[in-house]
Structures are given as structure tokens and as C-alpha cells.
A and B are shown apart, each in its own frame.
Chain A
Amino acid sequence: MHTESLSGQAVFPAKHTEPRPEHPPEVPLAIHDLTVAYHRKPVLWDIELNIPEGKLVGIVGPNGAGKSTLLKACLDLVPRTSGWAHIYGVPYRKARHRVAYVPQRESVDWDFPVNALDVVAMGAYRRLGWFRRVNKTETKRAMEALDQVGIAHLAHRQISQLSGGQQQRVFLARALMQDADLYLMDEPFAAVDAATEQAIVDLLRRLSGEGKTCLVVHHDLATVTSYFDWIVLINMRIVAAGPTAETFSRENLQKTYGGKLSLLEKAAEALRSTPR
């Protein structure tokens, strides 16, 4: 079950600086011919992808398939060997205000001298610009964002004293602060409690109900069909991408996880147990 994208979404004026815009500007994320290599070893190869608006999209693939790298390449965080990724028809540097990124929880040191509210307020730093401190308006917005993820009562707690699920919610609240149209989330469901998982799913559904697009790196094959409208199966290359019902097939999973038997068995199990 998914919500159709809202029409009438404000369209960012498309100023193309690079040739061959083969996609209309309302496509939240269009990737063409993207290749990324670390130390001359390719991690992503020839990625072609068009993500439709207002969808809840899962990125699924084995470890080391380049799922996180795909997000980072779209955000200009890793250098691209070739190709481009356009956000609403323009390069990322011109569309930053429309994108919110949720990094992996393990990517930061949680024993840092800040509380939950401080971290959420970082979502307003871009709006504030250089040197301006977090003001009352932004603090109020940060509290509201914390409230939306259900942990407003933990606003003043030091972040290492939060549970894993609560830390993940802090990251989500920080992304909400940016009031973006496209959300790129790196494994938000990794090692969180059941209540947090449900809260995140509810939040994602609400966002896509508002016409926002969410791209979520996901690990748990058992929940793919119930969470996502659309999936991207990836293993260095795009194996398949499309509506979950058509794309999440045994054959596609076999191509994605080829050779990794235990994972295949798990996937088969997941397929059997999910109503289609």
C-alpha cells in the first residue's frame, strides 16, 4: 500500500549546467552512467536509475554491494569516476536545500559533548549560515522534530545515554529539521528496537504521504515487501529496480545475492512468508 505522489509540488527551476537532461525536472533522483571506484577498484558500475516522486524506495543488496556508496555518490561525498546524479533535474550542489541525509548511526562518536537537541539543531545549520548561533525559532523547531519521532522528553540528555533506537531517532529528527523533499537514509533500521522500527516506518509513510521521496538502504529481506513501494536491487550494478510487487522476485534476488547461499535461503524464506 502506498500513497500516490501529490501533484502541484513546487518544482525547483531547472537550470541545466550539464548536457543531456534525459529526465523531467520533477524526478527526485536521476542517475546516469555512474561509476565509483576506490583505489581503482570499482564499487559501483554503470548505474542507471530514475527514482519516481513520492515513493518509499528500498535499496537492497548484499554487504559490499555499494548501497551506502550510491547514496554518498549522489551527495558528492565520494568522487565519481564517471556519470552524474541529478536531484530534481540539477546537480546536487544546487539542490542541497531539498535533500536530507541520514548517515549510518555508527559513523559518529556518540560520546560527544552534545545533547539530543544540539544534534537535531544541526539540521538548521545550513539555514542559519555562517557564524549565526541556533536561535529560539530553530530550537523550537528542533523540539518539534524530536516530538515527531517521539523522544521530546530526551531532548536534554547527552547522546551516549540514549539507546541505539533513540540515537537513530535523533538522526531522523535532524533530517526532519531540514524540511527536505528527498530523504536519503543509510540503514536507519540497523540494530534498533521494535518500537523504533515501527516509529520509523510510520514516519516514512507520513513523509511519502506528503509527496516526499525516501531512499532507504535496507538489510532485512523479510520486511522489504511490507515497507517499500519501490525497490532497487543492487550488487555493484543495478540488478533490478521497480515497484516492489514486480521486482522483488526469486529470480532477481538470486541475481543480486548470487552465490551467497545462506542469504539466498533467507531470501527464499522471506518470499515464502510474505503475502504477495
Chain B
Amino acid sequence: MPDFSDIFEVLLLQNYNTRLVVLSTTLLGIAAGLVGSFLLLRKRSLMGDALSHATLPGIAIAFAVMVSFGGEGKSLPALLLGATISGVAGIATMLLIRNTTKLRDDVAMGFVLSVFFGVGVASLRMVQDIPGASAAGLESFIYGKTAAMVASDFLLIALVAGAASLLSLLFLKEFLILCFDDGYAASQGWPTLFLDILLLGLVTAVTVIGLQAVGLILVIAFLITPPTAARFWTQRLLPMLLISAFIGGVSGWLGASLSALTPQLPAGAVIVLVAAVLFLVSLFFAPERGVLPRFLNQAALRRKEDRQHFLRAAYEIVEEQASGGSVANRSFPFEALLAKRSWSPHQLRRILRVARREDHLEPTPPGRLRLSEPGFGEAARVTRNHRLWETYLIQYADVAPSHVDRDADMVEHILGAELVRELEAKLVGALPDLSVPPSPHPFPSPSA
């Protein structure tokens, strides 16, 4: 178990052995977050998956070629070049299948993914039997491994990640119109084919430099998880890109650090797990689209509706008892309230408990209810808004009066003060008296 000083050393990049690795996965995460956003919005995630699996044969073949030329065989740039070539070949095969046969896209992708990966695994096994060459460590490209890294390798990864990040921000507007509406983009003269190739090129670049740390199976998760998580926090593209880059960067930094501290954990898995945790946090808690804030909003609206229904029902009972005279607060039986709306006794008791807590009800003997003074004032206000809204609907919106009550019910709960003033201004001729106006439609008396 690593102690605290080890943890801080790794996280703060003070440990020489892990500094380059952690820095490279952080930069990689930023690039993946940016490029992955467009991949996600272009709805090409599966293509990215096929691409990454198709890189494996290239790694094995590049190794074999280097060994046969008398090299040591493990030069990272050469291996990544091989990965790029076979990844592009995989995509080309896929496009060929799609354009020459009637097979669907997902079939073509599945075919390329599995066949290329199979070829890769087989050729990896074969190059390990080459006498005199040590292919050990090549399989780390499958699951990812934070091995020690030489400065030139780091430079390559940092350069490619930086370039991919810059390009995706530079082409922000062009990628946006491509992803949102490619037909319209083409009609405006944007070279959509070139933009698609450029986007796929950026995806290829990020995938290839991610192979060593994250591994080809998980690199797609590194591309897709950060933007998916970011989408929960915002409704605009630029904030989404920046949040996605941040989530990707943090995943790369934390994931590689944790993996360096516990060497038995493969880096790719830890990085992707960190990203997944950030995704779950976003899914549940992001204020813009998260599950929990949405649920709380709905619950708050339901409570507000319940309270307003209760207050209006209570006011109408008191009003009926006044039978045309001035409406004054007075007590009424629980049953009268129960009959007012289609609520169950259990539901109504729960609503009444809330009303007591909010001081809308006075203490009364069991079976009787009486609004408090503030409760009565609030009830008059709620009823007045409801009737203003109903009158407006009848006068201006050609709604059959029999349907008004239900529609008014839905909207009135969200009427703001400004809208209420607007309603008053509109209806000032119809309702000179701005106290609670009489109900514009007869409602059946429950006692009758």
C-alpha cells in the first residue's frame, strides 16, 4: 500500500519515473475530450471502435518489419506508424463494404472490428516466435500499461495531442455545421467529405497515441465518456468541449497516477474507470440535465400544485358558504374538502400535513379545518390567478369552457408575477374588480 507522500509525489508530478507518463495521459485526455465530442456529435462512435481494433495488425507487422531490418523492434514511433496504417486500412475496408454492397453500416463495422482484431492477435503471437527478438510488452497495446517512457516518446504524444486539440478548436465552426446538418453544410459549399476525413484523421491520431497508455480496447471509452458526461452540464457546444476536455484531462491524470501507485492495475482500465465515475457524477448531479436536479424540480412542482389545489378548494368551499355575500374565513368539514377534487383521503392528509407546517391551517378539532389568516390570503390570491387565467382562455383562446379548468390547472402553477400583471391589464375591462373575480364557469356543487 503506497503511503501519502508517494501519492502526492505521483499526483503532483514530482516523481521522475511517472511524471512523463502522467503528463502524457493528461494531455491525451484533453485531446480525447475535444476530438471525442465531435465524434459523438457526428454519431460515429462505433467507427472509432472499429478503428482502434484495426490498429493491432499494424503494431505486429511494424515490429516484424523492424526486426527483419535488424532493429530492436520496439521503437514507439514506428509501432504507432504501423498502427495508423492498419487503422486507416480498417476504415477503408469498412467504407468499401458499405459502398459496394448493400450491407448496413453496423455490419461493416462489426466485420472490420472482429476480423482486424483477430488478425492482430494471431500476428502478435507469430512475431513472438521470431528468434532473437523480444516481443514482450507488445500485448500492452491491447489493455494499456503505464510503462516508463522516454522523453522522445513523450514529445511525440504531447505534440500529436496538442495538434489534435488545437485543430479541433480551430475547426469548431466547420465541425459544428458538419455534425449538426451535413446536408445543409454541403448545400452551402462546405467540403463535407474533407471535413469528415479531417475529423476521422484527428480521431485516428488520438486513438494511436492513446494505444500505449489506454490500450486499443478501451481507447474508445476514453473518446466517448468525457463528452457524454460533459453534455449533462451544458446546452452549448463550446462549454461542452471545454468540460469534456477537463473531464478527459482529469481522468488521464488521476487514472495514470493511481495505476502508477498500484502497478498491478492496468492504466487503461483505471483511466476509463475514473472517466466512468465522472460520468456517473454528471449523470446524477449535473444541474442542467442531471437526473437528480430534474427529479427534484418535478417534485417541487408537484408539491406546489398540491398546495395550490388545496388552497383553491378551501377558498371555494368558504365562498360557497358565503353564498354571494362577502367571503370571510371560516371553518369547514374535512369531507367537504375531500369531495372537492379527486384525491384520496390519504393523499389529502399528506397535503394537509404540509399545509400545517407552512402555517396555512389553524389548529382545529378533528374533522374540521380552518385556514389561517396568511393561508386565507394566499388562497384568495391563488384562486384569483386561476380565474384570471380561465377568463383569459375563454375570451382569447377559443377554448371550450368545459376544457378550461384542466388547461388552467396546468398553466396557472407556473404563472409568474409579470404574466399575472399582463393578464390583469388584458382583462381590466372584463373584470373591473380586481379582488377575486367570480368563477367564469359554473362548477357543480359537490353537496348537490
Interface residues of A in 169-185 (CB under 8 A from B): 174, 178
* Proximity bits, A191-213, B CB within 8 Å = 1, else 0: 00000000000000000000000
Q: Does A108 contact B (CB under 8 A)?
A: yes
- Report whether A125 and B177 are in contact in the complex, using a CB–CB cutoff of 8 Å: yes
Q: Does B184 contact A (CB under 8 A)?
A: yes
- The residues of A that contact B183 with a CB separation of less than 8 Å are 72, 77, 101, 103, 107
Q: Does A115 contact B (CB under 8 A)?
A: yes
Taking the nearest CB of chain A, how far is it from the CB of B169, in angstroms? 10
Q: How many angstroms from the CA of A116 to the CA of B157 in the assembled complex?
A: 38
Interface size on B, residues (CB 8 A): 27
- Report whether A114 and B188 are in contact in the complex, using a CB–CB cutoff of 8 Å: no
Q: Which of A125, A128, A131 contacts B170 (CB 8 A)?
A: A131
| Contact A77/B186 with A113-B231, A114-B236, A131-B170 known, Cβ cut-off 8 Å | yes
- Report whether A115 and B235 are in contact in the complex, using a CB–CB cutoff of 8 Å: yes
- Report whether B180 and A158 are in contact in the complex, using a CB–CB cutoff of 8 Å: no
Q: How many angstroms from the CA of A107 to the CA of B235 in the assembled complex?
A: 20
* Proximity bits, B213-239, A CB within 8 Å = 1, else 0: 000000000000000000100111100
Taking the nearest CB of chain A, how far is it from the CB of B293, in angstroms? 15
Q: Does B187 contact A (CB under 8 A)?
A: yes
Q: Which of B173, B180, B185 contacts A134 (CB 8 A)?
A: B173
Taking the nearest CB of chain B, how far is it from the CB of A164, in angstroms? 17
| Contact A122/B189 with A115-B236, A131-B170, A158-B235 known, Cβ cut-off 8 Å | no
Q: How many angstroms from the CA of A93 to the CA of B43 in the assembled complex?
A: 28
| Contact A113/B189 with A122-B177, A125-B177 known, Cβ cut-off 8 Å | no
Q: How many angstroms from the CA of A125 to the CA of B184 in the assembled complex?
A: 11
- The residues of B that contact A136 with a CB separation of less than 8 Å are none
Q: Does A260 contact B (CB under 8 A)?
A: no
Q: How many angstroms from the CA of A114 to the CA of B179 in the assembled complex?
A: 11
- The residues of A that contact B240 with a CB separation of less than 8 Å are 113
* Proximity bits, A144-182, B CB within 8 Å = 1, else 0: 000000000000001000000000000000100010000
Q: Does B41 contact A (CB under 8 A)?
A: yes
Q: Does A119 contact B (CB under 8 A)?
A: yes
- Report whether A113 and B237 are in contact in the complex, using a CB–CB cutoff of 8 Å: yes
Q: How many angstroms from the CA of A133 to the CA of B237 in the assembled complex?
A: 13
Q: Does B174 contact A (CB under 8 A)?
A: yes
Q: Does B332 contact A (CB under 8 A)?
A: no
Taking the nearest CB of chain B, how far is it from the CB of A103, in angstroms? 5
Q: Does B351 contact A (CB under 8 A)?
A: no
- The residues of B that contact A128 with a CB separation of less than 8 Å are 173
Q: Does B97 contact A (CB under 8 A)?
A: no
Q: Does B181 contact A (CB under 8 A)?
A: yes
> Can you give 7 contacting A-B residue pairs, CB < 8 Å?
A107-B181, A109-B43, A115-B235, A118-B236, A125-B188, A158-B235, A178-B188
| Interface residues of A, Cβ cutoff 8 Å to B | 39, 72, 75-77, 93, 96, 99, 101, 103, 107-109, 112-115, 118-119, 122, 125-126, 128, 130-134, 158, 174, 178
